[in-house]
């Protein structure tokens, strides 16, 4: 029986993965996590890492989700165009990129990367990873109705920022700072000082 943590920084199709694996393997066996520091909860031995090749779309989807406050259930009614400032774009970009660097894959017996694009183009892709001949049920998660390019006024500027940021390496100090800030946030949430 598969027991796994599905990792995502958001907007990567992870809900499709999570809900399909839960439906097949059982609710108690699959965990969905936006926390890259979570380790395997016994006996969850698989890290299922949800990714998107089109990182720019994942980032703009996150920006739209922050404005609409709709990430899994959608009203489809938000129609107010907005502009993104450079700092907000950079923060979302760095979160998305560094998230994957912080996952400690050594904590898991098996790790698999699943790309949204592969998931969508081949309905057998997800379960084939575990040698199961079964199609993905895309009806378990509603697709966002929002067109990111139409809602973000300065989408071309965002693309320029993305290209600039993509040409820069993520530094070890940035990864350490990200990891430390997550630990501090978790300590605050848990009431620790």
- With a cut of 70, say whether residue 134 has pLDDT above it: yes
- CA distances (Å), 43 to each of 25, 64, 67, in order? 14, 36, 37
Give the chain's radius of gyration (CA, Å): 17
For residues 122 and 134, give the distance between their C-alpha atoms in angstroms, rounded to a whole number.
11
- Residues in contact with 124: Cβ distance below 8 Å, sequence separation at least 6, in sequence order: 133, 134, 135, 136
d(Cα 60, Cα 111) in Å, to the nearest integer? 27
Domain of residue 22: give its range: 4-189
pLDDT per residue as tens digits for the range 58-107: 999 999 999 998 888 888 888 899 999 999 999 999 999 999 999 999 98
Backbone angles phi, psi at 65, to 5 degrees: -60, -40
138 pLDDT higher than 90: yes
Helix, strand, coil % in the chain, rounded to nearest 5: 50, 10, 40
Torsion of CA 190, 88, 36, 11, to 10 degrees: 120
Domains contained in the chain, number:
1
The Cα–Cα gap between 177 and 171 comes to 10
pTM passes above 0.85: yes
Q: Has residue 187 got a pLDDT over 90?
A: no
In percent, the amount of the chain with pLDDT more than 70 equals 97
pLDDT at 188: 83
Q: For residue 189, name the pLDDT band (cuts at 50, 70, 90).
A: confident
Percent of the chain's residues with pLDDT above 90:
81
Stretch 29-45: mean pLDDT, rounded? 85
CB 139 within 8 A of CB 76: no
Report the pLDDT value the prediction gives residue 69, as an integer from 0 to 100: 87
Inform me whether the pLDDT recorded for 42 exceeds 90. no
């Amino acid at each position: 029986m598969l027991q796994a943590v599905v990792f995502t920084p958001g907007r990567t199709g992870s809900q499709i993965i999570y809900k399909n694996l839960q439906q097949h393997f059982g609710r108690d066996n699959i965990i969905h996590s936006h926390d890259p520091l979570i380790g395997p909860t016994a006996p969850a031995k698989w890290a299922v890492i949800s990714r998107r090749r089109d990182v720019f779309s994942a980032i703009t989807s996150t920006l739209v989700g922050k404005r609409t406050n709709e990430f899994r259930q959608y009203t489809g009614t938000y129609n107010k165009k907005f502009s993104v400032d450079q700092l907000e774009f950079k923060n979302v970009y760095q979160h998305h990129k560094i998230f994957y660097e912080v996952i400690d894959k050594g904590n898991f017996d098996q790790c698999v990367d699943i790309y949204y694009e592969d998931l969508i183009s081949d309905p057998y892709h997800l379960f084939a990873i575990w040698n199961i001949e079964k199609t993905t049920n895309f009806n378990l998660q509603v697709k966002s109705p929002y067109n990111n390019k139409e809602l973000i006024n300065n989408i071309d500027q965002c693309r320029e920022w993305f290209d600039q940021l993509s040409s820069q390496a993520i530094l070890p100090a940035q990864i350490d700072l990200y990891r430390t800030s997550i630990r501090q946030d978790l300590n605050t949430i848990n009431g620790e000082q």
